[in-house]
Amino acid sequence: METYHVLEMIGEGSFGRVYKGRRKFSGQVVALKFIPKVGRSEKELRSLKREIDIMRGLNHPNIVLLLDSFETEREVVVVTEYAEGELFQILEDDGNLPETQVREIACQLVSALYYLHSHRILHRDMKPQNILLGKGGVVKLCDFGFARAMSVSTLVLTSIKGTPLYMSPELVEEKPYDHTADLWSLGCILYELHTGAPPFYTNSIFQLVQLIVKDPVKWPESMSQDCTSFLKGLLTKDPQKRLSWPDLFEHPFVADGVLVLSDNSADSPLTVTPSLDQQALKLMQAKEKAAPRCGEGKLLRKARELRGKDKANKPDFATSTRAGSGKGDRSDNALLRTAADGRIPSEDWSASSPDIIDKDAVKPSAILSLEDRMGPISRDYAQEFPSVEIGPRQVLKNQSRVHCSLGSVRLENEDIDSDEEWRHLVQTTDPENQTSVGLDQAVLDRLKDRLLSYKAQLLDGVLEGVCQIHQPLKVLSNLLARKVDAEDSISVALKMDLPHFLFDMIEEIMGNSVVKQQPWCVAVLGDLMSALLLYWERHYQWEAAGKSLEECTKPFLSILFHPDMASIVPLAASVLALFIYRGVSVDLHADKFIAAMEAALHSPVENCVCLPQGWGLWDGLLALLLQALSEPENCLVSEFIDSSLWQLLWFRVGVTLEQMPPNREFLSLSGLQIFLSLALFVFIREPYSCVPLFSNSNTKSLPTLRRLLTADCTSEKEILSEQKLSHPWSDPSPNSLSVMSCHLLCFPFALEVPDETMAKILLSYHSCDIVSRLLQLALGLPLCLLELPLSLLCHLLLCDPGRSVPCFTSAAEACGFFLPPGGQDDDGDKPQSASERGCGETGRPSERTASSLLAGFLQSEALSGSAVELISLVSQAARFSLLPPFSVLYVDPSLLRSTLAHPDDRVRAATCSLLGNLNPLVPHCDPLLLPLFQDMTGQLHDPSLAVRRAACRAVGNWLGLVGQAYSHDGSELTKEDGGSVTVEGKTKVGKKRPSVLPGREDPASGSKACVEQEVGRWAESAQGATPVLLPLLRDPDPLIRRHCCAALGNMAAISGGGASLLQCDAPSLLLQLTCADSQNAVRQAALTSLCLFSQQDVLRQALVSLDIEEKLQRISQYTSSACQYNRLMNKLQPQ
């Protein structure tokens, strides 16, 4: 538990209690489920362990993620990701959904089920109550209490699990079933989302079974043909004919939206069509496991037993389920939402659970009254562990803590109101004081009396009350800011009548025209609002007494717009931001607020200001500004961009970041996140108006974003050193600043801007050293967040290679980015401190390398996009470095062999492009490069056009390098018409390629025999590419045909290449292409390769035997390349 902060209880059920929590030293919000072990049977604990084991192996965006689990002496604690909403809430509120939304949900649920079934896991309790809604509307499947991981030998199951409303016909008939039972439940859910009610429902469980088994589904006319077809397939009563894998995700209703994440290593996934032998074995198992039916089954028998009980003695159904919500009795005639309490009747439904059938359990799920529903979180987590009963949570307190008593602070003498005594009390209650005293009720009584007394004097204008109220308010703030037990905090709040005492006093001051004109008024209001913020941080869910929350905002709005209170406007803004976060409507006039905020930023800050730890003075102002500009009725974004406040904000943020360490007094980490959210909002609304921020060197925006790119690295130490760092309205992740800054830096490249403007933008990026900062970011961010910065880095190298490539290669060399791997974790995601990342202005190089990053990306198909960006980045650097040696931009060849076999064609294409830009033939080259060349040759017939193009280009380049290495000094390859052909089909004339294998007479390079042996191996391997290349001469893509011609031309210079070309009839095929191809560029490439053929005696004789002169003469008169034709014919003349 030392890893988590427990914030508040959000749910309670028969399994235990659920608390909202936060992982220490980060902003990650989690759900902590405390399940008591006391009194649990071994069977229940085994069931719980099985559920945890199943969830631990699941990692899918549409499945609730298990983050952690551990045991204390008395409890099992399960930590999952935190989700706010539930799908069935939408049904309660809206009745049904439009089909477009149903389709989006369907695609996500299909993706989740495909993932489960590919791992041979059956959920067995699919229903709306077990589907959560995360951020951005992402659907998340939860509750794996009834889930079952099937062994390879198990083909059917027989135990009855689930909710009757969503049970398949084979389940309610208690027949053996397989994964298609989940698909039936999916159909029921989608039908209910579309129509507002399940396909079958009635007040009687007996009738429900008959309806599911026999009645047809009623299809509404409003349902589209694709949707109807899809649901009919899922709701087919015969499981053998039910729509299943792999046909399911190819159905038109979901085909374009399903994300398929499956593990290719899974044995016998349920998502592939079983073989005939497997089908026969399944039928045999089903026959063996089918129990003989004597009368009605267990399901109906248990229901009949329940119905026969005395209804007067029957407990309310809501209390009989394990997710009971404490509701009162319900009328038998009331229409209730199916499973509204969390599990009706499936929470403990099995053949051995006699107390879970109720007639209310089978009513439609879209008609529960709003007042009957539980909180959205408690109902979800009440579903997670079906076999564990509720028990009191044992809170273990640290007995080693010793508090001294406030009685030692002498407030019982005759001079208790002296300044000295109050100053002493302020010191002893200071949260930073290591010997801070404990609570004493007598002190609280005395404090309350003095505050009430001084309040009355202050409102009457008595100067004595004004002078003396400051110290008691400071004591109150100290007591509120202390890290004490919840009971102590509540005791202080109750005794002091908080927050109403503070609200009332602020309101009375602002309502007294005489008092608020006094010079001391601002300082007193500052003290009051500081105390209010400290209280609100601890007691977020306080209840208003006697007035609405909207009325409570009025005094703070008055402060916000008061011309003489600019110094405390940030405090009022923080309070108003908290109101907005609670859903209170605050009447902000955007134009007036912008003026007030600008005045506040220029005003000095009152010394009385005391904010909760982790808050910045301007955080609330930025939150209000974002709210004001976001209101639909406000169209002031363009005016805001033109205002001086926009530039002032960039300047002030930049100034706070310039200090080392950064100054958090004005802007906390959460404040910086709000600022970036504001910038993103403005950029999205007025993108072209924001372009000058990037192109004008006088603005502070780019230097500020440069610092924010790696601000999280500096902040990491800060988070580790603070006990608590949070915002009620903003909970930044440890890397949010870097990611949001990347988004902002990407904006100019998504717009169509003039070339002149783009040139200024690129110059500004270079001046701010954005390239090296992005590389620093790649060394520190988690793998899942790297796609965006790598993509931006790649784009900069592409758009501005002259400046960006040298900058990148220099930064990469400095941090060892291209060193051979060694010392890092296999997944490339080794935890690193800020100093290890190389973040900030200084720091030792990171241990991450290009190879380690690529290894990490290859471990998950979800990171394929990041792998593409990384490979493309290295490829761009190599492309503009003119075929650098492989060792200069080193990436582990074994990883590149893996990427050539990757299921994502983008990864394969990017790998081929990278290889085409590198020179493998260097001294002491890696022995894996030769097999890598063979693998690359195998991609010449890849089904993907992009892969074939890149592979053909790369193979051609490497063949040219092999031919160059085979010559003694390369002179033969630089003569006119004798150079190797590039992938564009042009000849490199008079320009030598970068150095390849050392000359044969180079004494420093090793023996002549070793060099010749190495070149020989490459030449022998290269000859095998000829029969693979030749079919590409007939490829429908003209660019591939051009690349193929160039590759064959390079083959001619390799030892033994001429023989392999003749054996495959390459001269004849190239001649046909020269004469007959429909594309002029292809004909020119073929002619260039024939010129290279003519340099080899064997090939020249073959060309002469083909009557090439006569054929070329016929076509030369129709082409603009007559000179090149004539040159070739001259070479064919006898020497």
Give CA separation, 270 vs 113, 117, 121, 157, in Å. Answer: 10, 5, 9, 14
From CA 433, how far away is CA 430, in angstroms rounded? 5
Alpha helices by DSSP H, listed for 826-892, are 834-837, 850-857, 864-879
Alpha helices by DSSP H, listed for 818-966, are 834-837, 850-857, 864-879, 893-900, 905-916, 929-938, 945-966
From CA 1097, how far away is CA 1100, in angstroms rounded? 5
If you search the block for the tokens 């930049």, which residue do you land on?
654
Alpha helices by DSSP H, listed for 662-786, are 669-685, 692-695, 701-709, 711-721, 736-746, 755-767, 770-778
Binding site listing = 33
Q: What Rg do the C-alpha atoms of the chain give, in angstroms? A: 37
Nearest CA-CA partner of 741 in 797, 794, 686, 703: 703
CB 167 within 8 A of CB 189: no
CA-based torsion, 942, 946, 950, 956: positive or negative:
positive
Binding site listing for ATP = 33
The pair phi, psi for residue 20, each rounded to 5°, is -80, 135
Which amino acid would we find at residue 999? G
From CA 255, how far away is CA 490, in angstroms rounded? 55
The pair phi, psi for residue 533, each rounded to 5°, is -65, -40
Give CA separation, 825 vs 221, 815, 821, 831, in Å. Answer: 57, 17, 10, 9
Nearest CA-CA partner of 244 in 177, 334, 328, 145: 177
From CA 488, how far away is CA 471, in angstroms rounded? 21
* Catalytic residue of the set 68, 93, 125, 977: 125
From CA 752, how far away is CA 1032, in angstroms rounded? 38
Contacts of 321 (CB under 8 A, 6+ apart): 14, 341, 342, 343, 344, 345, 347, 348, 356
From CA 554, how far away is CA 587, in angstroms rounded? 9
Strand pairing of 139-141 and 75-81? Answer: unpaired
Which amino acid would we find at residue 616? G
Nearest CA-CA partner of 480 in 417, 436, 429, 526: 429
Nearest CA-CA partner of 115 in 256, 255, 231, 259: 259
Active site includes 348? no
Q: Which residues are catalytic?
A: 125
